[in-house]
Structure 1
Amino acid sequence: MLFWIVSTLLAIAVAGLLALALLRARGQGEPPAAYDLRVYRDQLREVDRDLARGVIDPADADRIRTEVSRRILAADAQLQEQTGGGRQRGPGVVLLAAGLAVALVLGGALLYRGLGAPGYADLPRQLRIEQAEYVRLNRPDQAEAEADMPERTPSQADPQYAELMDQLRATVADRPDDLQGHVLLAQNEAAMGNFAAAWRAQAEVIRIRGEDALPQDYAELAEMMILAAGGYVSPEAERALGQALRRDGRNPVARYYWGLLLQQIGRPDLAFSTWDGLLGESRPDAPWREPIEARMPELARLAGVTWEPRAPIVQQPGPSQSDIDAASELSDEDRMSMVRGMVEGLSDRLATQGGAPEEWARLIQALGVLGETDRAEAIWTEAAEVFAGDAAALATVTAAAEQAGLK
């Protein structure tokens, strides 16, 4: 209310000053008759001086004084008329001044009502940060978020598949420390849309693995929690994301959901920087690219920055024909060094940027050919984690592992 009082008084004051200037505008400047009066009076004084010097005789002086006096009387009457009319303002000027005052006061109020936020308190940056932290610390937990979700209609799964799932659940219940069983249970529950059951199975996977749990394990746990809560990032999901990022600060899934968390608690500035960095490192077909790009313009506006879409990372091509021809002319030792260099380059790129299932399969096969079976098996395990839930991708890397002689 104080804001409206102060702003209204300021608008009235400005409108009053403008109206006053408008009303006084016609009174400014000297009327022509006033100038004539000065000239005639100077002429009278000049007649007296000429008479004293003997330039003119008294008769001529009287005649000239009479003529100048007549002109002074006429000029004075004209001056009175001009100054009297200047004080009488026409109705058009008064109406214009009143309209200007109304337009400034009401127009300013209407403009602020449309563009501003009436009744909204001032929010300096530090206060917004404190409010965001308060929201983060006092938001609902995972159980509350899941309880608020509408009841899910059970999916009509294939009867045989449903029976296998019942058997898997029973088996895992009897074997609480069966790692592979919990991995399969989490993947299949998620595939069926049972995300609440999926994240609980994934939590058991992390419990069993202990300190050997991978960053992807925590990222998947957080993702399942978020999906179970309808896209809401709960404190429990936040802790899982924190564990994933502490183990691998470049994990793309964790970074995507961390940006979503920052957006939900009211930190668009941090969400923007998190997602902008992720976009700069993502492939064109990354699943998080489209939802991020759809939200970035609004995030940039809230963060007070400008944003231009980043060009996606283009996959590095394989060896060209000239590379192949050059390799055929090398010695066996040099050719093997060249192959190892290409394998290391592919391995580094998959570790930092990710890649298609075919690229993971190619790396597994290459390591098998080089006799590095332990490393090939580790890559196969990592690929299985990356493509968990994608049956086609898992089939591709599994076939490559079989060709490499892995068990």
Structure 2
Amino acid sequence: MMFWLAVAAITAVVALWLARPFLARKRTVSMESDYAISVYRDQIDELARDRDRGLIGEDEYRAAEEEIERRTLKAARQLDTSPGVVRRMPAAAAAVVVVAGAASLGLYWTYGNPAMPDLPLVQRKMDLLAEAAKGGDLKSRVAYLAEKTKKDPKNFEDWWMLGQAYAMLQNYTESAEAYRHAVELSKEDPGVVVAYAEAITLANGNRVVPAARIAFTQVITKRPKDPRARYYLALAKAQTQDFEGALADWMALKRESAPEAPWMPLVRRDITNMARFLKVDLKTLLPDATAAELSKAGNFALGDEKAKVEERIAELKTNLGNEPKDYKSWIELATLQARIGENETASASLDTARDRYKAAPFIVAKLDEAARALGLDAVKPAASEPKGPTQQDIANAASMSEEEQGQMIDGMVEGLAARLEENPKDINGWIMLIRSYSILHDKERAEAALATARTHFEGDTTVLAQLEETASAIGIAQ
């Protein structure tokens, strides 16, 4: 009812405004006075022409002009005080009101929806996010689902899908939190609990922390053959130095799984690592082991192959002593050291690299990934998930020597370069890298970065123009 009253009021106001010209009082002036003023103006113009032609003198002109102006003022006063004639057109005004009102209501009835309730701001926001999510924007999907869980926190499906979406973005902390709500709403369904426990593990740098281990054990009690729970419980044993127990569990999981099962690559990788730790011939564990797996397990096909690996290790150590900024060489060094059974040395090499690149989270993540692939997270607890330099790190930087500060900056720049290798379409990253090399007075690398960036954006005139502008600004335009 209130809606229709509001519509009626607005329609009335608009219609009356349109009808106003037809209801206003108008004044019709005297035709004689109007005509007289026009004649007087013409007379003044004529006098001016006569004066200019020399037909009358200046005094005559002034006297005649004053007389004409007096008559003009008199006519103007008569014009102002002349009685007006009221001209109203009420019929026309009424017609305008009726037509405007009928047209407004007709259009609303045709195109509007009187039964539709008002759409709250939150709902409009969710509709926009939903449209973006349908377009494949994963971040918009996360935002959309997060809004839905706020609106309806008891909806299991929303929490479950939100946990999956966060996991796809590798935001495992938020994924675990979403799965926690899903666990509560599902009454601790094993399939939901195992996803929750896995998210906790991944959020802790692939460490099976006590909370995750308890959850995996809970799953096993209800679903003894669950492959994910079995895999991570074996990993928990490896991370507590129970290599024999971990190997036995992974071997059992391998025997009971199809070769094409999605978890088999991880299982085979970890069996290979356990064989290396325990100095067991991998062929006795994996008769179908590939050459790459045998190599990672330390099984050398030729007698001189180990010597070649040791020679390469020595070469890498020399190179890294001269140029310690090559993080890929650190990973290769650790990989080769692990191959010949020097697991603790390999772990120490990665620790040295982590310390070198502690200001470069992307590279630290790569180093942790290499450690997990080699099973070295079982030798030594993995570093926590990289977050970049802490406030204490920044405060300590002020007391560093110039050389130490330079090393910290170098690490950050190398981290940026490594990230661009993974995502070469980041124009802002390339511009930052080029400028960073310039600040470090490394013109050669700045030019190389510029050339590489050009190849990635070939044909994109807008981006290339940005690169050229940057190059020109720092004096490396080519």
Answer whether TM exceeds 0.5 for this pair: no
Q: So what's the TM-score if we normalise by structure 2?
A: 0.30
Higher RCO (C-alpha under 8 Å, 6+ residues apart): 1
